[in-house]
Amino acid sequence: MFEEARHDVWVYARKMWEANLVVASAGNVSCRAGAQHIAITPSSIPYETLQEEEIVIVDLASGNAVDSLHKPSYELPMHLSIYRSMPDVQGVVHTHAPYVTALSVLRKPLPPIIDEMMIYFGGTVEVAEYAFTGTDAVGTHVVRALGDRSGAMLANHGNVCIGRSLQKAMHVAITMESCAQVYLEALKIGEPVTLPLEAISAGRRMFEERR
């Protein structure tokens, strides 16, 4: 019943790890598994040994694991908050990518300095208010920071990326890490210049069309 969702989460969790966006078992990936459930990576199982059948199925209403061998990711409350608040979201990727996490510990938003940031993120990547990992407050703060965009940073933690598919959410995560690297490298030399208003407007229109 949940084979496809389990497979997709396993594939993209491996992609996240192979792209060096996380280490060991850090970060997490999830997707909808029908209307009433989500599939999410398990807690504390390293990605290099993770098996498809270890992906956890969770009832969206109760937050309880069903038809599963392991406990869901410790960050389950954040994923539940996103899916419950944003019915269009089909996939969530949470990473601890180095450059994004560097910005998160500085609590420094990532402004639109490259065209693709408007096209894929929809605007500035904001930093959500800090909350301790695994708490309901993380989800509350993240939903607020996301607004109508596809990614946000978690203060002192990393980022969360969303999409109408796991593929799109992963693309946002990979692109955000690249842009964060450019931004931090530019800050070493001077003050990065944000895109002009007409480019921001054009990029936002493209973002809306691609969603």
Whether 25 and 44 have beta carbons less than 8 Å apart is answered as: yes
Average pLDDT of 76-94? 98
Output the pLDDT for position 160: 98
Q: Supply the pTM of this predicted model.
A: 0.96
Average pLDDT of 87-103? 98
List 18, 52, 54, 75, catalytic entry: 75
| Cα separation, 37 vs 146, whole angstroms | 22
For 115-167, the pLDDT digits (tens) are 999 999 999 999 999 999 999 999 999 999 999 999 999 999 999 999 999 99
Rounded mean pLDDT of the chain? 97
**Structural domain of 114:** 3-210
Share above pLDDT 70 across residues of the chain, in percent, rounded to a whole number? 100
CATH number for the domain harbouring residue 106? 3.40.225.10
Token duo for residue 133: 């990992």
For 189-210, the pLDDT digits (tens) are 999 999 999 999 999 999 999 8
- Domains identified in the chain, total number: 1
75 part of the active site: yes
User: Residue 211: pLDDT band by 50, 70, 90 thresholds?
Assistant: confident
